[in-house]
Structure 1
């Protein structure tokens, strides 16, 4: 895969990179020959991910740092550390935040504020911090991990759906503004992807006779996913790397749907 994405020698940044889609991105970026700086909030999980990556990629140029993407000073410190260790970034992948289950009636003011803060500033702060590095870099790109909820809202996830729609609009706005600087901005819209959250729900399942594949197949059927299964983190990561790479050099302000056919919007 090293030649596929044409990312050899480039420096990529991944937020929320210690697990799930973020970690899959780090792995594939390293396979493609990129230098990677990734961050997460949990020191133990970050250390574990870094140890596994260094064992698998002993020659890799890699930086792992604890960072809270909702703390602007923490993000600025991460940007400074990655610049010193790996040089200026050409790729920024924004990947942070889970969904909040709530309806309009039971979403408090505090919950609304928390959800909007997370979905917007987990992108705003990293973009602000890394934009000076991206400017002037040939083929610079930003990719934001978003949800199908941005285009296909669910009433039981009202706050997350609204915030995700706002992020989709923000991607388009940044793409237009940054185009003259040679920086492309795109995103992906994920459906149901295997994650720690789904694993915890599986462990708490009532149907104890079902294994993981059977349980997720039933879940996919209930959710009307045409492909009949949950997505894999690496499948989302492959779409992200495409958007981050020169393979998508004429694409900006766009989103790739990675939902297994769950999407019903045009």
Structure 2
């Protein structure tokens, strides 16, 4: 019996189209979790990728080799501390020297702390705003001039459902993510006539190794099953009653970086299972 394979079937086997071939992408906070998934999605579409984040040198070197070999693209790691503006500027310059000017910037680096506002340590407030908000400002400021000059750029800021709504005990995180959504809109307006788009992606709870560890800790601390913690604590406000996946968030970012999204700018796109529809 002969087998007939459709064009769609051939495309599925081939993986995603390499529509970002020749583009240079910086993804901050990308040595694990959502950021690594985003880096992989961009590499799979042909972009040269600069990873950024902390971790053991041998492990990070292995990540770079794996991505480069799997997707036949250049990959390097930059150790810039996203809490330090001068290092963020150096990240943009080192990228330009190694691969060429940045075409795609994904601001993903983030930190969190949970406490009532009267107990919230000021140093944690400052650190969260520095990494989750100010770092995005400094990175965009560093790459925008060359993007405008070349009349192409894609900026995606990884905000959160908490950039659109609030939860108690997360004052710094909610403030930073709301600020990031506002900053996204300003940059989108300023860059719109220069071929540069700027959007925010707002995930709800995403299943990552970090979240898996938090579920286990909560279950142990409260004497509950992990299933009960997931349903009644983590996903209580997420109508889909399932975690988003790293691949879903990464696919959304890849779309916003694609030619098809050239007219999508200034948006805050939830990937939250309906959480912000309440």
Per-residue CA shift, 1:117-143, capped at 9, x if unaligned?
222222012112222332223431110
Q: Provide closer, same or farther for how the CA distance between residues 208 and 158 of structure 1 changes in structure 2, counting only shifts above 3 A.
A: closer
Q: Structure 1, unaligned stretches of length 5 or more?
A: none
Residues 21-36 of structure 1 aligned to structure 2 (within 5 Å): 21-36=34-49
Partner of 2:199: 186
2:98 pairs, out of 65, 70, 85, with: 85
Distance 2:230 2:123 in 1: 36
2:179 pairs, out of 166, 175, 179, with: 166
Distance 1:38 1:221 in 2: 29
- Per chain length, whose mean CA-contact separation is higher, i.e. which structure has more relative contact order (CA < 8 Å, sep 6+)? 1
Contact 2:204–2:238 (8 Å) recurs in 1:
no
Shift of 1:17: 1.1
Shift of 1:239: 0.9
Shift of 1:197: 2.4
Q: Structure 2, unaligned stretches of length 5 or more?
A: 1-14
Q: Do structure 1's residue 2 and structure 2's residue 7 form an aligned pair?
A: no
Contact 1:191–1:260 (8 Å) recurs in 2:
yes
Partner of 1:228: 241
Shift of 1:97: 0.5
Contact 2:85–2:135 (8 Å) recurs in 1:
no
1:14 pairs, out of 27, 34, 39, with: 27
Higher helix fraction: Structure 1 or Structure 2?
A: 2
Moved more, 5-14 or 45-54: 45-54
2:142 pairs, out of 129, 150, 166, with: 129
Contact 1:9–1:34 (8 Å) recurs in 2:
yes
Distance 2:238 2:123 in 1: 33
Partner of 1:252: 265
Partner-residue secondary structure (3-state), 2:25:
strand
Q: Provide closer, same or farther for how the CA distance between residues 202 and 217 of structure 1 changes in structure 2, counting only shifts above 3 A.
A: closer
Partner-residue secondary structure (3-state), 1:102:
coil
Contact 2:16–2:45 (8 Å) recurs in 1:
yes
Structural RMSD (CA):
2.3
Moved more, 10-19 or 74-83: 74-83
1:108 pairs, out of 121, 133, 143, with: 121
TM-score (norm 2): 0.85
Distance 1:56 1:220 in 2: 38
Shift of 1:251: 1.2
2:63 pairs, out of 25, 49, 61, with: 49
Aligned residue pairs, count: 261
Contact 2:154–2:196 (8 Å) recurs in 1:
yes
Distance 2:239 2:274 in 1: 5
Q: Do structure 1's residue 156 and structure 2's residue 172 form an aligned pair?
A: no
Distance 1:81 1:156 in 2: 38
Partner-residue secondary structure (3-state), 1:161:
helix
Per-residue CA shift, 1:182-212, capped at 9, x if unaligned?
211101111101123212223433289957x
Partner-residue secondary structure (3-state), 1:224:
coil
Partner-residue secondary structure (3-state), 1:163:
helix
